[in-house]
């Protein structure tokens, strides 16, 4: 508590040295109609309104993030329709419509302002403290299920998450934030954003996060006197540092970011010695992106960009050896660069089309595993290569109420043998001014990453014949937007997923192979209403049955059938404060260890007010209000308990 009070005292003192500016956020307190008319970067690269896109778009805004107190991108995704997240005390994972493999989110394309963030070692798209951005820098988060996003290719296998950052003018000057939470967690952030007299917009930010974690974490599978009765002591800490900057002038946008995160690992997940140090992992990620956009004619726009990115990972863990413990060091490094050119046009009558080419050169893809005592290089690999993608899409106005959306993409990827061709079709019928029907089809692929191609956790061999995973998605959608800021959406979907990379189900080799074949049958709905007073009510439900066709159609492991979410926000005391309550229900899940993660109901509460002191925004969050000791499926497919009730107090001062 002292750290928070000192931070709050500091930013209150700092306030006296600067003139106050009113902070404005582009999407704060928008109505349903205004939200539906916001152009979605990710829907089809055409920048369509959400209601017109050939997809089922889900959006949360900066106002929602503040109202419900979401601390990380994982928290926000867990609140969105059809998604659910878990954390195995190493990383956080997101599942989509019943599919969850704890695969570092390699089957979901993660983007910041339209720039791919999945790294080139594990194809990981990171969403918790390992994510690049602070939540206070986010203007909105867009999610597109797989059937609406596959024009983006490889990692948009199950869907696409695009995080749109705020512009500098949304901050309106300097901003400082301090927060404190359960398990000795604290965070500080300093940011500056402004639109300059020249018209240039600038945003810079830096932050530090630190948490001691659970001091004495109980893990039932280690409950014996030889392993400290299942107690991992002081092995759950986490530290993260972030930098982000964005500069926009005329048609140019220069952006870059860095995140460095270290996490202690208490679970001894891959045979490590339990309750010993060192046991940690560390991730660092960096990106720089220069984008240029120009309206080259009244009906045609050009976009070009270039980027450079880097990912570094290392971990140290102790294993039992014949003559004592062995210190093992894992290390990975990836570097890649590339660019994209894209044309968007309405030059042809009753058509809106986009065409583009993307290129990525994987400069370095390196994995290395070494025992340090005694010294032994267990595994080492080094790769590099090219990726080239060509795509096009045309939205054709067949009649006043009918639109045909047709697109295709060719992919050359150096980690697979075959050039990939994937089409996409959508038929959109605006039956009335308020009701739209959509029929969608798409296909895409996911290439094996170098970790899957070159290594396994037991170091005894790899399968040289791995090929791409394949998916075909079918979806029917109805959207109803009556008056009075109300939105109702319903959909039926089917996914045919083949050649999924899984361990040999016969147990004969223990090697990874393209053995998985799944069918996903599902339905979902969402209803939302926003009042002019600031009240919000939103509910969603997703039913999905993920059948493992290799095992006679039984439900896939780690796959919940039922996901229900309810969000309610209400201004209090004549708008002096605002309360946000969310209720998230996740159905039961099975584990490959013959264990069972029961269904759970998670209730979070967040109270905010910006009325106490001008420019000061205060919030109090209670997470897992009922202290439900719910369980998640961890990476090695074991059941792991979560933390229980948590608190956070936060202060943000703009000056």
Q: What is the pLDDT of residues 579-599, one digit of tens each?
A: 999 999 999 887 765 667 888
How is 415-446 classified by DSSP, letter by letter? TSSS-EEEEEEEEEEE-SSSEEEEEEEEEEEE
Per residue in 410-420, pLDDT (tens digit) is 999 999 999 99
Q: How confident is the model at residue 364 (pLDDT cuts 50, 70, 90)?
A: very high
The answer to whether 354 touches 393, Cβ cutoff 8 Å, is yes
* pLDDT band, very low/low/confident/very high, at 96 (cuts 50, 70, 90): very high
Q: Which among 72, 66, 24 is positioned nearest to 195, based on CA atoms? A: 24
400, two tokens: 């006043």
Instruction: Measure the CA–CA gap between 411 and 419, rounded to whole angstroms.
Output: 6
Q: What is the pLDDT of residue 446?
A: 93
When pLDDT is cut at 50, 70 and 90, the band that residue 304 belongs to is very high
Residue 271's pLDDT is 81
Give percent of the chain with pLDDT exceeding 90: 70
**Which of 238-242, 331-335, 400-404 has the least mean pLDDT?**
400-404
Model confidence at 19: pLDDT above 70: no
Strand blocks (E) in 153-219: 159-165, 173-181, 185-195, 201-211, 216-218
Q: Is 80 exceeded by the pLDDT of residue 327?
A: yes
Residue range 12-40: mean pLDDT, rounded: 42
pTM: 0.91
Lowest mean pLDDT among 295-309, 361-375, 411-425, 589-603: 589-603
What tens digit of pLDDT does each residue of 427-451 get? 999 999 899 999 999 999 999 999 9
Is residue 20 over pLDDT 50?
no
Cα angle at 557 between 552 and 559, to 5 degrees? 110
pLDDT the model gives residue 651: 97
The pLDDT-based confidence of 34 (bands split at 50, 70, 90) is very low
**pLDDT at site 100:** 83
Q: What's the pLDDT score for residue 633?
A: 72
Tell me the pLDDT band of 549, cut-offs 50, 70 and 90.
confident
pLDDT band at 49 (very low <50, low <70, confident <90, very high): low
pLDDT given for residue 149 in this prediction: 57
CB 105 within 8 A of CB 18: no
What tokens appear for 440 in the block? Answer: 């969608």
Residue partners of 68: CB distance under 8 A and separation at least 6: 79, 567, 569, 580, 582, 604, 606
pLDDT higher for 39 or 171?
Answer: 171
- Domains of the chain, start order: 2-654 (2.40.170.20)
Per-residue confidence band for 306, with pLDDT thresholds at 50, 70 and 90? very high
Are 617 and 646 spatial neighbours (Cβ–Cβ below 8 Å)? no
Q: Note the pLDDT of residue 350.
A: 92
Q: Express as a percent the part of the chain with pLDDT over 70.
A: 89
User: By mean pLDDT, which of 47-61, 188-202, 555-569, 572-586 is the weakest?
Assistant: 47-61
The contacts of residue 603 (CB under 8 Å, 6+ apart) are: 581, 582, 583, 584, 624, 625, 626
Segment 245-262 mean pLDDT: 97
Q: What is the mean pLDDT of the chain?
A: 88
For position 150, what pLDDT does the model report?
Answer: 58
Rounded Cα distance, 456 and 451, in Å: 8
């Amino acid at each position: 508590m002292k750290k928070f009070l000192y931070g709050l005292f500091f930013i209150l003192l700092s306030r006296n040295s600067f003139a106050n500016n009113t902070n404005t956020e582009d999407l704060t307190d928008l109505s349903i109609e205004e939200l539906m008319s916001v152009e979605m970067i990710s829907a089809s690269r055409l920048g369509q309104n959400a209601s017109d896109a050939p997809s089922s778009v889900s959006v949360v805004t900066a106002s929602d993030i503040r109202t419900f107190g979401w601390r990380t991108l994982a928290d926000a995704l867990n609140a969105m329709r059809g998604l659910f997240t878990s954390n195995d005390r190493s990383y956080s994972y997101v599942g989509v419509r019943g599919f969850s493999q704890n695969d570092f989110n390699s089957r979901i394309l993660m983007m910041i302002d339209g720039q791919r963030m999945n790294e080139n070692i594990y194809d990981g798209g990171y969403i918790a403290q390992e994510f690049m951005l602070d939540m206070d820098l986010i203007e909105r988060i867009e999610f597109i299920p797989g059937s609406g996003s596959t024009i983006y290719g490889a990692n948009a296998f199950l869907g696409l998450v695009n995080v749109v950052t705020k512009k500098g003018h949304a901050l309106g000057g300097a901003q400082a934030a301090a927060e404190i939470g359960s398990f000795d967690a604290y965070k500080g952030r300093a940011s500056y954003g402004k639109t300059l007299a020249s018209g240039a917009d600038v945003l810079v930010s830096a932050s530090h996060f630190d948490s001691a974690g659970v001091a004495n974490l109980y893990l039932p599978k280690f409950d014996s006197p030889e392993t400290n009765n299942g107690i991992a002591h002081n092995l759950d800490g986490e530290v993260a540092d972030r930098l982000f900057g964005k500069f926009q002038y005329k048609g140019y946008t220069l952006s870059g970011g860095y995140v460095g995160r270290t996490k202690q690992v208490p679970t001894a997940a891959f045979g490590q010695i339990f309750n010993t140090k060192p046991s940690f992992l560390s991730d660092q990620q960096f990106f720089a992106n220069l984008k240029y956009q120009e309206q080259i004619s009244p009906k045609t726009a050009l976009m070009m960009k270039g980027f450079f990115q880097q990912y570094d990972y290392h971990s140290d863990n102790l294993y039992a050896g014949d003559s004592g413990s062995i210190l093992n060091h894992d290390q990975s490094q990836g570097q890649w660069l590339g660019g994209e050119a894209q044309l968007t046009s309405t030059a042809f009558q009753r058509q809106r089309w986009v065409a583009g080419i993307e290129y990525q050169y994987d400069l370095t893809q390196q994995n290395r595993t070494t025992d340090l005592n005694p010294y032994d290089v267990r595994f080492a690999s080094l790769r590099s290569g090219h990726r080239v993608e060509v795509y096009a899409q045309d939205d054709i106005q067949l009649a006043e109420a009918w639109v045909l959306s047709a697109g295709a993409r060719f992919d050359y990827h150096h980690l697979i043998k075959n050039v990939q061709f994937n089409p996409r079709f959508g038929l959109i019928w605006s039956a009335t001014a308020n009701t739209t029907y959509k029929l969608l089809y798409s296909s895409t692929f996911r290439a094996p990453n170098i970790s899957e191609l070159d290594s396994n956790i037991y170091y005894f061999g790899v399968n040289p014949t791995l090929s791409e995973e394949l998916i075909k998605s079918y979806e029917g959608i109805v959207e109803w937007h009556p008056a009075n800021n109300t939105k109702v959406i319903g959909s039926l979907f089917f996914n045919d997923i083949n050649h999924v990379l899984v361990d040999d189900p016969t147990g004969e080799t223990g090697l990874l192979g393209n053995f998985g074949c799944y069918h996903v049958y599902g339905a979902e709905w969402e209803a939302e209403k926003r009042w002019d007073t600031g009240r919000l009510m939103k509910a969603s439900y997703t039913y999905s049955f993920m059948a493992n066709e290799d095992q006679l159609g039984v439900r896939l492991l780690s796959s919940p059938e039922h996901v229900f979410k309810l969000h309610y926000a209400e201004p209090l005391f004549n708008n002096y404060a605002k309360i946000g309550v969310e209720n998230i229900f996740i159905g039961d899940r099975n584990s490959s260890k013959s264990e069972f993660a029961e269904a759970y109901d998670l209730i979070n509460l967040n109270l905010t007010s910006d009325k106490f002191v001008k420019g000061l925004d205060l919030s109090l969050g209670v997470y897992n209000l009922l202290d439900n000791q719910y369980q998640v499926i961890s990476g090695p497919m074991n059941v792991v308990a979560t933390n229980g009730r948590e608190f956070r107090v936060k202060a943000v001062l703009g000056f």
